[in-house]
Amino acid sequence: MIDFKGRVAFVTGGANGVGIGLVRALANEGAKVVIADIREDHIERALETLDNREVMGVKVDVSSRDAMAEARDKVEAEFGAPVTLLFNNAGVNLFQTIEDSSYSDWDWLMGVNLHGPINGVMTFVPRMIEHGQGGYVVNTASMAAWLAAGSPGIYNTTKFAVRGMSESLRYSLAPKGIGVSCVCPGLVKSYIYASDDIRPRDLMADAKPINTENVERLAGLHEVGMEPDVIAERILQGMRENQAYIFPMPDHKDELEQYFGEVLGDYRDYPEDPGYHERLKIEAMRRQGYEAARAAATKAI
């Protein structure tokens, strides 16, 4: 079971939403916590609510490898230890379809939602391994990593990718004593509906005008989202249990079960083709290895 006390935790998107809930929960567990966020004013407000805690704020653009490396070095200098609890949580969204999107839309969302977690892993995990004291990586995906409607198309794409990365990483890091979980929340009380506020100017080409009415509607929906402190406690519990997937909300279980049934329903009983039996032997070996990797990852931490 992972012990949070005394460890250094790096939480991207840490100044609001799921992130600030994680910051508070980790601080309560005795961790040294870094609020990593692109909104400097939000970081300052968050720090004001966390008096007498070992918490520091770092302004960082997660899509930048150099910025993440600079943040890592600053954190290690401040706390005198490497990050061993990594929360790749920062995310942005555009509530539109793929065909209505531009290349700059893709570059922005891919930069934050996918390259952000990649940069987090590549920046911090080698130091975790070198430190030799184990650790944990939590990647925030979404139920949109499983249930993809037409909109938001790019967001769905990035979250599916984060899910795949998380599962692969879980198996490769387990032998090194590092756990990996993928968090799949639904509606959370956050400011993701206002992502346009932090969109870089150099990624505005062909961007659609902001639909203020839609933003106001989404703001109302997010007001009834799950409280950050509730979801954070469920994430920490999932880490203690070393869950591959942390579903903090029961809202989608029946829908997901139905979806899996529809996926399996797309299989067909085709006639045997040349090479069929040889492929079965190869697949049997692959399946055995995959089952062993899942079992080892579950027991490792």
Q: Could you list the pLDDT tens digit for every one of the 301 residues in the chain? A: 899 999 999 999 999 999 999 999 999 999 999 999 999 999 999 999 997 679 999 999 999 999 999 999 999 999 999 999 999 999 999 989 999 999 999 999 999 999 999 999 999 999 999 999 999 999 999 999 999 999 999 999 999 999 999 999 999 999 999 999 999 999 998 867 678 888 999 999 888 886 766 666 666 666 778 999 999 999 999 999 999 999 999 999 999 999 999 999 999 999 999 999 999 999 999 999 999 999 999 986 6
Q: What is the pLDDT of residue 224?
A: 74
Nearest Cα to 296, choosing from 171, 205, 210? 171
Query: What is the rounded CA–CA span in Å between residue 59 and residue 38?
Result: 5
- Give the per-residue SS3 of 71-84: HHHHHHHHHCCCEE
Max CA-CA distance within the chain?
Answer: 69
How far apart are the C-alpha atoms of 158 and 245, rounded to whole Å? 17
pTM of the shown model: 0.95
Between CA 12 and CA 292 the distance in angstroms is: 32
Round to whole Å and give the CA distance between 17 and 91: 10
What topology does CATH give the domain 8-300?
Rossmann fold (3.40.50)
Per DSSP, what are the bridge partners of residue 88?
Answer: 139
Would you state the pLDDT for residue 189? Answer: 84
DSSP state of 226: B
CB atoms within 10 A of CB 162: 25
pLDDT of residue 267: 97
95, 100, 88: which is closest to 196 by C-alpha?
Answer: 95
Count CB neighbours of 144 within 10 A: 21
* pLDDT in the model for residue 196: 83
pLDDT at residue number 300: 64
Q: CA 279 from chain center: how many Å?
A: 35
Angle at which helices 115-131 and 65-79 pack, to 10 degrees?
Answer: 40
**133-155 pLDDT, tens per residue?**
999 999 999 999 999 999 999 99
Residue 65: how many other CB atoms lie within 10 Å? 14
What is the pLDDT at residue 216? 66
Catalytic center residues: 155
In the block, residue with structure tokens 């090479």 = 275
Residue 186: count other Cβ atoms within 10 Å of its Cβ.
17
pLDDT at 120: 98
Residue 152 preceded by cis peptide, ω within 30? yes
In the block, tokens 């966390």 appear at 50
Does residue 35 contact residue 19 with C-beta atoms inside 8 Å? yes
- The two tokens of residue 251 are 């809202």
Would you state the pLDDT for residue 53? 76
Q: What is the predicted pLDDT for the residue at 192?
A: 76
Domain layout of the chain by residue ranges: 8-300
The structure tokens listed for 176 are 């090194």
The structure tokens 């968090």 sit at: 183
Cβ contact 149:275 at 8 Å: no
